Amino acid sequence: MSPAAPTVASPSAGTEPVTDLASSAPTGEVLAVCRVHALLPDAGPAGVTAIDKRPVSGPVKVRRLGLYADLQADRANHGGAEQAVYAYGQDDTDWWVGQLEREIPPGLFGENLRVRGIPVSDAVVGERWSVGSALLEVTQPRTPCSTFARRLGEERWVKRFTVANRTGAYLRVVRGGELQAGDAVTVCYRPEHGVTLAAWFGAWTGRGADPEHAASLARRLLAAHLEGDVTLSDEMRARAEIAAGRRVED
3-state secondary structure 40-94: EECCCCCCEECCCEEEECCCEEEECCEECCCCCCCCCCCCCHHHCEEEEEHHHHH
Predicted confidence at residue 187, as pLDDT, reads: 96
Predicted confidence at residue 146, as pLDDT, reads: 93
pLDDT in tens, 195-225: 999 999 999 999 988 999 999 999 999 999 9
- Measured CA to CA, the distance from residue 18 to residue 15 in angstroms comes to 9
How far is residue 150 from each of residues 39, 84, 155, measured CA to CA in Å? 14, 22, 9
Whether 3 has a pLDDT exceeding 70, the answer reads no
2 pLDDT band, cuts 50/70/90, is very low
pLDDT in tens, 92-102: 999 999 999 99
How does DSSP assign 215-229, residue by residue? Answer: HHHHHHHHHHHHHTS
DSSP state of 156: T
Residue 23 burial by Cβ neighbours in a 10 Å radius (0-12, 13-18, 19+) = exposed
Sign of CA dihedral 229, 83, 196, 25: negative
Predicted confidence at residue 85, as pLDDT, reads: 97
SS percent in the chain: helix, strand, coil, step 5: 30, 25, 45
How does DSSP assign 17-48, residue by residue? Answer: --TTGGGS--EEEEEEEEEE---EE-SSTTSE
